[in-house]
Structure 1
Amino acid sequence: MTATLTRAARDRRPRTLLRAFAPVLLGAVALALWESVARSGAVPALFLPAPSEVAVRLSEDAGGLLWSYTWPTALRAVAGCLAGAALALPLGYLVYRSRTAAVALGPYIAASQALPAVALAPLLVLWLNRGSLPIVVLCALMVFFPILMTWVLGLRGLDPDVLDAARLDGASGAAFLLRVEIPLALPALLTGLRTGFTLSITGAVVGEFVMGGRGLGSLIAARSRSGDTEGLFTVLVVLCLLATAVYIVLGAAERRSRHYLGENS
């Protein structure tokens, strides 16, 4: 038995290394190609600066400028994602539990996804004035649908035999939700939050771009007006790093929850 486990661990090690280094290798190849194209002069630097030049500019801005603009965007994205989740989770549970609610609310939930964020932004300014509140509301509207749908699908995918066994053990009501349904559907919930936060960052940037306020969106607008291509790329890099960091953290939490559920199933 021990030899089998050891052999399985050795078999998993190459896959783990490949999973860790494959994105790094792909990124290095892409950066090398980008650098060579930019240095060749085939594309003017105004349109495509070299990655090395973007890195230098990023190091110059990272000390204070970018951080002072990143912090408000990140806070608005987090607040919007949490607000969207606070609305989506109870409504999703209602849709899961009640066929009548699913039929009645389904068209309106789908319609909420069809509304473009850029079209909503001016209306939110009229209704809520300028500031962080309309941007947070815009983020919440953008993340609401994917979180709700992932949550509902996760609940509907629960093993009926496990649920029946929990009911036979006496679980019911709020205890059944908190101790059985939520833990079992936690991987799906984390997947929805991971997708939702990425969209929430997009919503925050769009909101700042349209509504104003200090943040990465307003920095993009200012640098776009001045033709500062290197500066635009540095903001894009920061946005990618922010989204990637959250994606990795929530992805690790999702894998850990699946591992925990597998051990206790």
Structure 2
Amino acid sequence: MRKPLWRPSLGFLRPSMWLPLVLMLTVLAALWTWGARSMPYLLPPLGDIGSTLSEDADYYLRNAWVTLKEALGGLGLGLLAAFVLAIVISEFPLARRAIMPVAVILNVTPLVAIAPALVVAFGFGPAPKLIVTGLICFFPILINTSMGLRTVPQPVLQVYQTVNASRLETLWFIRIPHAMPYLFAALRIVFPLSVVGAVVAELSAAGSSEGLGTAISLASSMNRLAAVYASIAILALLGSLLLLCVTVLERRVLHWHETRQGAGS
């Protein structure tokens, strides 16, 4: 009988799986409650945060949707650009020597500083936020993917050379599949990071009227701590959901890889 590509595991029902997390959350909640009583100017009570979320649920959902669209849009741009450039620099050493120094410079450039310039260039629409988010996600994908493309074992390449495989066939059937685990390792980082990038763009790009970053900025200006932490809680939830999505996608796409086979046994 053929083994299914993926089947859900019920291991999470065991107390050893969920009990440590429950205990940790309980401890963190107790520490938060103590901190809210000792430093009310820094931490609001958890009940106030919950009340803010329930009373203004539509407001937070609307802004969360705006931030999520910016995060996914910027991630898509960064992923596309980084993947294409990774193929180029892995196939052409001259291109690697030309592109990698520029990519390193972009990686160490404080993007908060160039966000206002992007607003001047592209206006007050979503374009500056997508560009900032894409640049934040770009470098990890480029580095990991190019490494995966260039580290194919030589014996495997020699086998394809003996059958006169073209450069395109070697890229499609050998290099790209070999780079997939490297790519997903980068995606595990940049999927949650894209939310951070979208918030940074909203906070630094002038003219933002929607998004959780804007909500945090407005709440801070009015000294509404509960609203600030409510927005932060939603951002943490968005990042966790995106990480869960890429983890599930990795299991489906890389079911053939030895790491996934080891995890499923």
Shared fold (TM-score, shorter chain, > 0.5)? yes
- Given residue 244 of structure 2, which amino acid in structure 1 is its aligned partner? I
Shift of 1:23: 3.9
Q: Give the deviation of 1:217 after TM superposition.
A: 1.2
Distance 1:170 1:28, change over 3 A: farther
Q: 1:224 to 1:178 in 2, by over 3 A?
A: same
Q: Deviations over 1:139-166 (max 9, x none)?
A: 1111111110111122233333334334
Q: Is the 8 A contact 1:96 1:152 kept in 2?
A: yes
CA deviations over 1:173-200 (Å, ceiling 9, x no partner): 4333333322222121122223223222
Q: 1:216 aligns with which of 194, 212, 217?
A: 212
Shift of 1:238: 0.5
Amino acid at match of 1:98: F
Match of 2:174 among 165, 180, 189: 180
In the alignment, residue 186 of structure 1 is paired with which amino acid? M
* Distance change in 2, residues 1:80/1:59 (3 Å): same
Q: Tell me the distance in 2 between the aligned counterparts of 1:23 and 1:252.
A: 20
Deviations 1:198-245 (A, max 9, x none): 222122112222321311111111101000000000000000000111
What is aligned with 1:248? 244
Unpaired segments ≥5 residues, structure 1: 1-12
Residue 120 of structure 1 is matched in structure 2 by 114
Task: Report what 1:109 is aligned to.
Answer: 103
Q: Does the 8 A contact of 1:125 with 1:134 survive in 2?
A: yes
C-alpha separation in 1, matches of 2:19 and 2:113:
41
**TM-score, with normalisation over the residues of structure 2?**
0.84
Q: Cα distance 1:250–1:169, how it changes in 2: closer, same or farther (>3 A)?
A: farther
- Give unmatched runs, 5+ long, in structure 2: 1-10
Mapping of residues 54-133 of structure 1, within 5 Å: 54-62=49-57, 64-133=58-127
Structure 1 residues 165 and 50 mapped into 2: Cα distance closer, same or farther (>3 Å)?
Answer: farther
Q: How much identity, in percent, do the aligned residues show?
A: 30
1:37 paired residue number: 35
CA–CA separation in structure 2 for the residues paired with 1:22 and 1:55: 24
Q: As a proportion of its length, which structure holds more helix?
A: 1
8 Å contact 2:74–2:130 — kept in the other structure?
yes
Question: Is the contact between residue 191 and residue 246 of structure 2 (CA under 8 Å) also seen in structure 1?
Answer: no
Structure 1 stretches (4+) deviating beyond 6 angstroms? none
Which residue matches 1:53?
48
What is the SS of the residue equivalent to 2:68? helix
Cα distance in 2 for partners of 1:22, 1:167 equals 52
Query: In the alignment, what sits opposite 2:152?
Result: 158
- Is the 8 Å Cα contact of residues 152 and 174 (structure 2) preserved in structure 1? no
CA RMSD, Structure 1 to Structure 2 (Å)? 2.5
Equivalent pairs counted in the alignment come to 248
Match of 2:227 in 1: 231
TM-score, normalization: structure 1? 0.84
Tell me, what secondary structure is at the counterpart of 1:120?
helix
